[in-house]
């Protein structure tokens, strides 16, 4: 397992609609903008919260919280 900045500091962080760009193409975590993918092929829901669960390069993988 590669240890990197995103894995050390961002895993487990919770983001909501205020962290997404206006066109929902990017998510901001700790002042840095990242591409993202929502796990389980779910679509973006502006009323949901998401947890950062993984990363690959500059892409964060988000899991929608119930």
The tens digit of pLDDT for each residue in 12-40 reads 999 999 999 999 999 999 999 999 999 99
Phi and psi at 49, nearest 5°, equal -110, 155
Residue 58 and residue 35 in contact, taking contact as beta carbons nearer than 8 Å:
yes
Residue 15 and residue 29 in contact, taking contact as beta carbons nearer than 8 Å:
yes
pLDDT of res. 16? 95
The CATH number fitting domain 5-64, selected from 3.90.550.10, 2.40.50.140, 3.30.420.40, 3.30.390.50: 2.40.50.140
Residue 60 and residue 36 in contact, taking contact as beta carbons nearer than 8 Å:
yes
**DSSP state for residue 38 in the 8-state scheme:** E
- The number of residues making up the chain comes to 66
pLDDT of res. 8? 80
């Amino acid at each position: 397992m590669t240890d990197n900045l995103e894995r050390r500091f961002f895993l487990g962080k919770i983001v909501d609609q205020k962290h997404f760009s206006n066109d929902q193409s990017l998510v901001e975590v700790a002042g840095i903008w990242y591409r993202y993918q929502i796990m389980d092929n779910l679509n973006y829901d502006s009323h949901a919260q998401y947890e950062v669960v993984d990363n690959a390069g500059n892409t964060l993988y988000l899991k929608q919280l119930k």
